[in-house]
Structure 1
Amino acid sequence: MPVPGVTWEGLAYAVRTASASLIALYIAFCMNLDDPKWAAITVWIVAQNSRGMSVSKSQYRMLGTALGALAALVLVALFAQTPELFLLGLAGWIGPTFPRQRETNKISLGYLCNSIGGRSNGIPALNASKRKSKE
Structure 2
Amino acid sequence: MGASVSAFFSAVLVGALSDRIGRKKTFLLIGALAAVLLPLCYLNLAATKDTTQITVYALAIAFIGNAGYAPVLIFLNERFPTALRASGTGLSWNIGFALGGMMPTFVSLVSGSPAEIPISLAYFAVGVFVIYLIGAIVIPETKGNFR
**TM-score, L = length of structure 1:** 0.40
- Structure with the larger RCO, 1 or 2 (CA within 8 Å, 6+ apart): 2
Q: Give the TM-score normalised by structure 2.
A: 0.38
